[in-house]
């Protein structure tokens, strides 16, 4: 146990250092810039400055207000939770090599370098999974309470918290911990539910994305292909791990059915959630893809090869993407090299948003020349 705690601490600190050193130093684009604006400029950025509670992420904004005093500091919140998610994965799997490879994945590294809510959500997912596995094995009331309390709190970070809830309920019920689980979840979700009572069910669940949540067909195939290609950079390593496992004769024996169910739920949601930044929603799917491979032993040479691949693939993708003309739906982002911005996970060299903001002083929310009325 002491050895695991030490490994967890060292792994988390190592990735915190990596993500902090490579995080964007100033203003961000799109939602990242808007998060910075809401945290640093708006008195009530928890619910204002966005179109609905579904896109408000109030706990993330509240925490940012408590710890951040500059755009870079807001970005470091993502770095911290990205590192914590890597550490949480290790606690679930006790697989140090696999945890390190996950930490170097394109999606997790990318999102840990900008102001985004997804790494905080993933950290909750990691620790929920930790207590879910404990509950499935031992069925303790304390594990059920911790699992559901975390999930309730997670709801005020992102609606991702709702996706695994049916699995949690089934496991808690099968272990005769349904009452404890319900009380703990309500305690954790009380903050968000109080906000949802004012926002209404639709505003809390979907906001302006109701049609997209239930869509089964993309409206823009080019954009969808772009998002799938970016996600592929992250799923290359699990694909190789699966190939090695099959070749070595390993199977999925011992893998919890709950983990498989969580992977399936998140994968289906992500694969057909056709939004502009669809690839960012692949993060939980990626996490559970690694979980399904958690008991594979990664030899040191393979771990080094996979780690190198995680760095080389984005560089190669950048060179390929740079050969294509920038699509029209990205032309509003002045000064930004889109090929580098999306393909390279590290952001410490990107100052394009700061350059654009210098032309619109006092107006920056991440959407240059089109400041949202709700953010005023």
- Both structure tokens of 185: 């979840």
Q: Quote the CA–CA distance of 228 and 317 in Å, as a whole number.
A: 13
Q: Would you say 207 and 268 are in contact if contact means Cβ atoms under 8 Å apart?
A: no
Contacts of 315 (CB under 8 A, 6+ apart): 343, 344
Mean pLDDT of 179-201: 93
Tell me which DSSP letter residue 250 carries.
-
Task: For residue 338, give both structure tokens.
Answer: 């889109």
Is residue 234's pLDDT more than 70? yes
Q: What is the structure's pLDDT at 255?
A: 61
Q: How confident is the model at residue 349 (pLDDT cuts 50, 70, 90)?
A: very high
Tokens of 110: 């990318």
Q: What is the mean pLDDT of residues 194-209?
A: 85
Quick one: residue 225, left, alpha or beta (phi over 0 = left, psi -120 to 50 = alpha)?
alpha
| Nearest one of 173, 96, 162, 84 to 127, comparing CA atoms | 84
- pLDDT value of position 106: 98
Q: How far apart are CA 364 and CA 366, in angstroms?
A: 6
Residue 333 is predicted with a pLDDT of 73
pTM of the model: 0.94
| Under 8 Å between Cβ of 269 and 163 | yes
Question: Both ends of the chain: CA-CA distance in Å?
Answer: 51
Question: What is the pLDDT confidence band of residue 209, given thresholds at 50, 70 and 90?
Answer: confident
Distance separating alpha carbons of residues 301 and 66, to the nearest angstrom:
43
Residue 373 has pLDDT above 50, yes or no: no
Residue, of 273 and 46, whose pLDDT is higher: 273
- Nearest of 184, 178, 109 to residue 154 by alpha carbon: 184
Asked if residue 37 has pLDDT above 50, the reply is: yes
Least confidently predicted of 112-116, 178-182, 204-208: 204-208
Most confident of 202-211, 349-358, 363-372: 349-358
Using alpha carbons only, what angle is made at residue 242 by residues 22 and 14, rounded to the nearest 5 degrees?
25
pLDDT of residue 77: 98
In the structure, what pLDDT confidence band is assigned to residue 369 with cuts at 50, 70 and 90?
A: low
Does an H or E element contain 342, and which? Answer: helix 338-343
Residue of 168, 182, 195 lying closest to 59 (CA atoms): 195
Q: How confident is the model at residue 372 (pLDDT cuts 50, 70, 90)?
A: very low
Pick from 352, 357, 356: nearest CA to 340:
352
How much is the mean pLDDT over the chain?
90
Running DSSP on this structure, what letter comes out for residue 52? S
Instruction: Using the predicted structure, report yes or no on whether residue 246 has a pLDDT greater than 60.
Output: yes
- Max avg pLDDT among 9-13, 43-47, 321-325: 9-13
Count of H-run helices and E-run strands, the chain: 18, 0
pLDDT value at residue 131: 97
In the predicted model, what is the mean pLDDT of residues 196-224? 85
pLDDT at 374: 42
The crossing angle, in degrees rounded to 10, of helices 283-292 and 71-93 is 20
DSSP 58-119: HHHHHHHHHH-SSHHHHHHHHHHHHHHHHHHHHHHH--HHHHHHHHTSHHHHHHTSSS-SHH
């Amino acid at each position: 146990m002491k050895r695991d705690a030490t490994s967890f601490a060292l792994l988390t600190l190592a990735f915190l250092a990596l993500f902090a050193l490579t995080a964007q130093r100033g203003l961000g684009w799109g939602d990242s810039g808007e998060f910075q604006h809401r945290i640093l400029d708006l008195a009530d950025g928890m619910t204002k400055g966005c179109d609905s509670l579904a896109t408000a992420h109030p706990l993330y904004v509240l925490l940012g207000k408590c710890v951040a005093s500059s755009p870079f500091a807001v970005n470091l919140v993502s770095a911290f939770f990205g590192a914590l998610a890597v550490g949480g994965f290790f606690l679930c799997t006790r697989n140090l090599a696999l945890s390190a490879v996950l930490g170097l994945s394109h999606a997790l590294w990318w999102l840990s370098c900008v102001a985004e809510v997804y790494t905080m959500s993933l950290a909750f997912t990691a620790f929920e999974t930790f207590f879910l596995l404990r509950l499935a094995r031992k069925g303790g009331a304390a594990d059920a309470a911790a699992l559901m309390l975390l999930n309730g709190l997670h709801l005020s970070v992102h609606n991702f918290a709702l996706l695994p809830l049916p699995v949690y309920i089934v496991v808690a019920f099968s272990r005769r911990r349904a009452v404890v689980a319900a009380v703990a979840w309500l305690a954790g979700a009380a903050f968000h539910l109080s906000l949802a009572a004012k926002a209404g069910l639709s505003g809390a669940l979907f906001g302006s994305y109701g049609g997209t949540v239930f869509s089964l067909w993309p409206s823009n195939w080019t954009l969808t292909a772009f998002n799938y290609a970016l996600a592929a950079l992250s799923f290359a390593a699990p694909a190789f791990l699966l190939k090695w496992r099959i070749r070595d004769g390993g199977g999925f024996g011992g893998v919890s059915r709950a983990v498989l169910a969580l992977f399936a739920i998140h994968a289906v949601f992500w694969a057909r959630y056709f939004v502009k930044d669809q690839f960012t929603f692949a993060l939980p799917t990626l996490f559970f893809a690694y979980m399904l491979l958690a008991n594979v032993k990664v030899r040191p040479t393979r771990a080094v090869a996979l780690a190198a691949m995680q760095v080389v693939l984005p560089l190669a993708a950048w060179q390929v993407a740079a050969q294509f003309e920038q699509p029209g739906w990205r032309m509003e982002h002045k000064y930004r090299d889109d090929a580098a911005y999306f393909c390279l996970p590290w952001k410490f060299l990107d100052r394009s948003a700061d350059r654009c903001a210098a032309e619109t002083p006092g107006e920056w929310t991440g959407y240059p020349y089109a400041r949202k009325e709700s953010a005023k």
